[in-house]
Structure 1
Amino acid sequence: MTGLSTSLPWLLDQAAAATPDRPCLSFLGRTYSYAEVAGLAARVAKGLQKLGVCKGERVGLCLPNSPYFVACYFGALKAGATVVAFNPLYTEDEIRALIVDSGTVVMITLDLQVLYPKVAAALHSTKLRIAVVCPLSDAMPLSKGLLFRVLKRGSIAPVRYSPAVLPFNSLVSNGDEPEPVTIDADSDPAVLQYTGGTTGVPKGAILTHANLMANVEQVRLLLEDSGLEGGRLLALLPLCHAFAMTSAMNLALASRSEIVLLPRLDMKQMLRTIETERPTLFPVVPALCVAMLSYPGVERFDLSSLRCCISGGAPLPTELKQRFEKRFGIPVVEGYGLTEASPVVTCNRLGEIGPPGSVGRPLARTEVDIRALDDPTRALPAGERGEVVVRGPQVMAGYWNHPEESREVLQGGWLRTGDVGHRDENGFLFLTGRIKEVILRSGYNVYPRTIEEALFCHSAVAEAAVIGIPDERCGEVPKAFVRLRDGEHVSEAELLAFVATRLNPLERPVTVEFRSELPKTVVGKVSGQELARQEAAKREERSGHG
């Protein structure tokens, strides 16, 4: 790749020009070439321009992983628009709030009962001008599409088309090339990626074309020895999330690889797809590694095509990484990032044996520093814990409509991540937790991840999370939440005794609550925030009855 100031549509256009007949997408048995996807994206761009979408206006994608997402993402960018990625799992209220905040004028979604009604409701309560509805069955092979329309008829939403509700085929019915749009890659927003950020309130991180182009090139360089070029990449994680957007979709196009798209998590379908489609690279989150390890009969599937899994989205416990690699013989490369950095910041190198528990060293052209928790301007030496700060070409321009929060997290060219960690003498980064999750016990900082790592060392533990709960004597104390592996049993006393040998007295949890499931975020990360909310509700209920 040359010229990191190039805009994102260049990724698809260059790949289509160089390898027009190479497979670009595979979806439920249907294959799309690079030329087909580029042509469809161009028609989407032209259609949006005909609808009056101007440069910089926001186009929303409320789509699961599908050919529509890829074509509409690059089509909207080619038209000069800014993409707003909506998670299909969002509620109607969440979709409405993000439409209002972002000023989305066109929303593209599927003709499914679980999606279209949520978007349609926003047409009457926001300034959203147009909804474009894509028929899911048309993206499938002909026979599967016919069966879907018959057997899944109840899942298809009745759509009443109008000037404000258009079928996708109407959007792309012209064969004209879109009007060329001049894009300033360094300053023009490509994507508004919503995140809780460092304050917990959803905000749109402004990711420019240059931010995203820099990050995909950084990741590509890191993985160029993995056989990525011209390979196959399995995209199960939602493309609407920054991790999959960069490390699956954009990375595949930058390396002219094929993207094997899966629209939802179905373990049997996923394992069968790996066996039949033979992908070489698989971005994962820790919860997915846990699910694969515990899936009954997983050993019957041939997963040997996978050369590497990239883990992100949440901390990967050392014990889980070792168990996964031993069971499947697939190396797992763990990285660290955040939406505000497009999102990848550090990563372990394939074939490099780094220190256990590390999330790697900074990517090319990226600086990572550790600052004092009580003074973000004071740098700390190797080995000392503090706030992780990041500087590099992938760092966002700021938060959409939130200038004060932007100034708070972007200081002197550095992004304050809100994460706590330390570096060793060789530059490897270790994460301890979030600043807001640090437990203040008797005046000492206690880090949830340290306790979670100790819990994961027990062979019966499948998932674990630790939060702080109020305590009259100590201020706060750690409480652990644990999901056991299927068929395993351990008592609270046994587990507390087990971790007591691995933790200092301040770090030892006071209680363990066993759960059949732990609450997750939309990308499969165990939600400590939700556990804290549930605990607060319990305390309030108890005080109400007191």
Structure 2
Amino acid sequence: MGTATAMNLGRLLTQTARRIPGAPALVWGDRAWSFAELDARVDLLAQALRGLGVAKGDRVLVHSRNTNAMFESIFACFKIGAVWVPTNYRLTPAEVAWLGASSRAAVMLRDAGFAGHAAAVRDASPHLRNVIAVGDAGPGEQDYEALLAAAEPPPPDHEAEVAAGDPCWFFYTSGTTGRPKAAVLTHGQMAFVITNHLADLVPGTTERDASLVVAPLSHGAGIHQLGQVARGAVTVLLHGEKLDPEQAWALVARHRVTNMFTVPTILTALVRHPSVDRHDHASLRHVIYAGAPMYQADQAEALAKLGPCLVQYFGLGEVTGNITVLRPDQHTPENAGSCGMARTGMDIAILDERGARLPPGEIGEICVRGPAVFAGYFENEEANRKAFVGGWFHTGDLGLLDARGFLFITGRASDMYISGGSNVYPREAEEAILTHPAVAEVAVVGLPHPKWGEAGVACVVCRDGSMVEEAALLAHLAPMLARFKQPLRVVVWDALPKSGYGKVPKALIRAKLEELGIGF
């Protein structure tokens, strides 16, 4: 075998900046940066990070809304061979402290207003050497723009040498065991994923395209934008952190936006907002929705409003959104309920408990293999053993393949539900609820919700002689869990339904809620 090094993914930006230096790269509010300007700023950040002692393989924790600094940090980390560790900016300080400590981050970059998060990471992580703050640096923190201003531009081709298996991104995924796990994404794997996204999801993308970001760059949207930079398309960010459909449609019209990465709840909110009819969106060619199954009625509504531009995919963080695709022309009655066919270069199998392939039409666990599969969970051998049984990556989702190879997801092996496009694992909320002194037992399940897709209902049994009100329990949870992980309703029961083994199966909980007519 040869020992050639891989392409450093930071060079995707370097190459585009050399090819079309004056073309717009990033637009945010009333500010815009050309590819040459963006690349120059990224190079200064790379040098600044090197100056702070960040070396190849070191982790950089980034807690930020979608901003130019967050976008710049991706490529700066890649260029120096460091590992980008983005968080969901809605997480609480305690949750971010766990990510900083478990990744052993050397430096943290935080957006304005998150001093409390940085303090929590500092307290939890002896490895953290520096905090870089955007706009409101406090004592002991570095100011982002001042760091860039003080840095010397590096020489051309300064990017670190990397091997295909070198990590570039820790993609934190909640996992069924409560604590989030870091899925290790590598330069070689991501080179395949970016190429595959361009081939299968947004074919024909060039510098004549424009991409609007309506989801957090920390997750699927960030992966999507790497391909846009590679091809020279402009990335347009929303001005604020909240989804503003009016603003989104105005930006689609102004920039002739051709593609967007969304999740079903965001797509439905955009399509149902009256502003969709006030702005020209005929430029849209690829509107991607992923991250959760979409109700068929919502899908039909989106198709009717936007025309044949919907692209669905199924993929997890561990496989970097790269399992199936349902192209615009495949959104047909025959494929209703399907999330599409295998992505180019990826293999899907439905396996039974013994790891044997099941024939078409039979339900089992959805398992995948191919170059998009991640390198494994960071320092978590037990999770890796479970995830890679028999040489396949096991998704934990249940489904079937039809005779043509189209995948239908039928349920989840775990009890996870998806709220607003984010995975929620009930155990995290259950553990937090059990810290309330009045609570003896709890079970949280996700039920269909008209706005969020699914939302949590907490079924609680109180300790003898104690009572708890819904409002009090939700107030108890507020500082402990991100908003999207908190159940929206609490019901108090005398006892939880149990199986013959004394377990509390979620199916029994759901059946009882249905019987009582409880839902959203």
Q: Which TM class, normalised by the smaller chain length?
A: 0.7 to 0.9
1:260 is aligned, of 225, 236, 242, to 236
User: Which range moves more in the overlay, 166-175 or 84-93?
Assistant: 166-175
Q: What residue number does 2:227 align with?
A: 251
Matched, 1:168 2:145: yes
How far 1:123 moved relative to its partner? Answer: 2.5
Q: What residue number does 1:116 align with?
A: 115
Q: What residue number does 2:479 align with?
A: none
How far 1:273 moved relative to its partner? Answer: 1.5
Q: What do residues 314-337 of structure 1 show as CA deviations (whole Å, max 9, x unaligned)?
A: 112222111111123252111000
1:209 is aligned, of 182, 187, 190, to 187
1:404 is aligned, of 363, 367, 382, to 382
Give me the whole-angstrom Cα distance separating, in 1, the residues matched to 2:206 and 2:363.
Answer: 35
Matched, 1:483 2:447: no
Assess, with a 3 A threshold, how the Cα gap between structure 1 residues 291 and 484 changes in structure 2: closer, same or farther.
closer
Matched, 1:539 2:493: yes
How far 1:348 moved relative to its partner? Answer: 1.4
Q: Letter of the aligned partner of 1:108 in structure 2?
A: L
Assess, with a 3 A threshold, how the Cα gap between structure 1 residues 126 and 299 changes in structure 2: closer, same or farther.
same
Give me the whole-angstrom Cα distance separating, in 1, the residues matched to 2:256 and 2:494.
Answer: 52
Q: 1:374-453, aligned counterparts within 5 Å?
A: 374-375=353-354, 377-437=355-415
Identity within the alignment, %: 29
TM-score in terms of structure 2 length: 0.77
How far 1:254 moved relative to its partner? Answer: 2.1
Assess, with a 3 A threshold, how the Cα gap between structure 1 residues 126 and 237 changes in structure 2: closer, same or farther.
same
Assess, with a 3 A threshold, how the Cα gap between structure 1 residues 437 and 345 changes in structure 2: closer, same or farther.
same
Give me the whole-angstrom Cα distance separating, in 2, the residues matched to 1:182 and 1:479.
Answer: 45
How far 1:171 moved relative to its partner? Answer: 4.1
Q: 1:96-107, aligned counterparts within 5 Å?
A: 96-107=97-108
Give me the whole-angstrom Cα distance separating, in 2, the residues matched to 1:131 and 1:30.
Answer: 25
Preserved contact between residue 204 and residue 399 of structure 1 (Cα < 8 Å): yes
Q: What residue number does 1:514 align with?
A: none
Give me the whole-angstrom Cα distance separating, in 1, the residues matched to 2:451 and 2:389.
Answer: 43
Give me the whole-angstrom Cα distance separating, in 2, the residues matched to 1:369 and 1:530.
Answer: 34
Matched, 1:274 2:252: yes
Assess, with a 3 A threshold, how the Cα gap between structure 1 residues 181 and 32 changes in structure 2: closer, same or farther.
closer
Q: Letter of the aligned partner of 1:134 in structure 2?
A: V
1:193 is aligned, of 159, 163, 171, to 171
Q: Letter of the aligned partner of 1:123 in structure 2?
A: R
Q: What residue number does 2:134 align with?
A: 134
Matched, 1:364 2:334: no
What secondary structure is seen at the aligned counterpart in 1 of 2:49? Answer: helix
Give me the whole-angstrom Cα distance separating, in 2, the residues matched to 1:370 and 1:214.
Answer: 23
Q: What residue number does 1:45 align with?
A: 46
Assess, with a 3 A threshold, how the Cα gap between structure 1 residues 286 and 173 changes in structure 2: closer, same or farther.
same
Assess, with a 3 A threshold, how the Cα gap between structure 1 residues 409 and 299 changes in structure 2: closer, same or farther.
same
Give me the whole-angstrom Cα distance separating, in 2, the residues matched to 1:40 and 1:369.
Answer: 44
What secondary structure is seen at the aligned counterpart in 2 of 1:6? Answer: coil
Give me the whole-angstrom Cα distance separating, in 2, the residues matched to 1:174 and 1:121.
Answer: 28
User: Which range moves more in the overlay, 398-407 or 263-272?
Assistant: 263-272
How far 1:181 moved relative to its partner? Answer: 5.5
Q: 1:507-522, aligned counterparts within 5 Å?
A: none
What secondary structure is seen at the aligned counterpart in 2 of 1:35? Answer: helix
Q: What do residues 6-61 of structure 1 show as CA deviations (whole Å, max 9, x unaligned)?
A: 22112111111111111111111222111111111111111111111111111111
Preserved contact between residue 45 and residue 151 of structure 2 (Cα < 8 Å): no
Preserved contact between residue 350 and residue 358 of structure 2 (Cα < 8 Å): yes
Give me the whole-angstrom Cα distance separating, in 2, the residues matched to 1:427 and 1:542.
Answer: 41
How far 1:5 moved relative to its partner? Answer: 3.6
What secondary structure is seen at the aligned counterpart in 1 of 2:329? Answer: coil
Give me the whole-angstrom Cα distance separating, in 2, the residues matched to 1:357 and 1:86.
Answer: 31
Q: Number of residues paired by the alignment? A: 437
Assess, with a 3 A threshold, how the Cα gap between structure 1 residues 77 and 225 changes in structure 2: closer, same or farther.
closer
Q: Letter of the aligned partner of 2:279 in structure 1?
A: F
How far 1:356 moved relative to its partner? Answer: 1.4
Give me the whole-angstrom Cα distance separating, in 2, the residues matched to 1:210 and 1:417.
Answer: 21
Preserved contact between residue 47 and residue 172 of structure 1 (Cα < 8 Å): no
User: Which range moves more in the overlay, 21-30 or 4-13?
Assistant: 4-13
How far 1:121 moved relative to its partner? Answer: 3.7
Give me the whole-angstrom Cα distance separating, in 2, the residues matched to 1:71 and 1:224.
Answer: 23
Q: Letter of the aligned partner of 1:356 in structure 2?
A: A
Matched, 1:184 2:162: yes
Preserved contact between residue 347 and residue 363 of structure 1 (Cα < 8 Å): yes
Q: What do residues 348-402 of structure 1 show as CA deviations (whole Å, max 9, x unaligned)?
A: 1243455111111111111011001x22x11101111110001011111111121
Give me the whole-angstrom Cα distance separating, in 2, the residues matched to 1:72 and 1:258.
Answer: 17
Q: What residue number does 1:341 align with?
A: 319
Give me the whole-angstrom Cα distance separating, in 1, the residues matched to 2:5 and 2:328.
Answer: 24
How far 1:168 moved relative to its partner? Answer: 3.3
Q: What residue number does 2:297 align with?
A: 319
Give me the whole-angstrom Cα distance separating, in 2, the residues matched to 1:542 and 1:391.
Answer: 40
Assess, with a 3 A threshold, how the Cα gap between structure 1 residues 539 and 201 changes in structure 2: closer, same or farther.
farther
Preserved contact between residue 274 and residue 303 of structure 1 (Cα < 8 Å): yes
Q: What residue number does 2:28 align with?
A: 27
- Give 5+ residue unaligned stretches, structure 2: 419-423, 427-442, 453-482, 498-520
Q: What residue number does 1:73 align with?
A: 74
User: Which range moves more in the overlay, 353-362 or 178-187?
Assistant: 178-187
Give me the whole-angstrom Cα distance separating, in 1, the residues matched to 2:495 and 2:402.
Answer: 45
How far 1:484 moved relative to its partner? Answer: 8.0
How far 1:426 moved relative to its partner? Answer: 1.0
Preserved contact between residue 220 and residue 254 of structure 1 (Cα < 8 Å): no
Q: 1:291-306, aligned counterparts within 5 Å?
A: 291-306=269-284
Preserved contact between residue 210 and residue 394 of structure 1 (Cα < 8 Å): no
What secondary structure is seen at the aligned counterpart in 1 of 2:98? Answer: helix
How far 1:227 moved relative to its partner? Answer: 5.0
What secondary structure is seen at the aligned counterpart in 2 of 1:207? Answer: strand
Q: What residue number does 2:472 align with?
A: none
Give me the whole-angstrom Cα distance separating, in 2, the residues matched to 1:37 and 1:484.
Answer: 37
What secondary structure is seen at the aligned counterpart in 2 of 1:436? Answer: coil
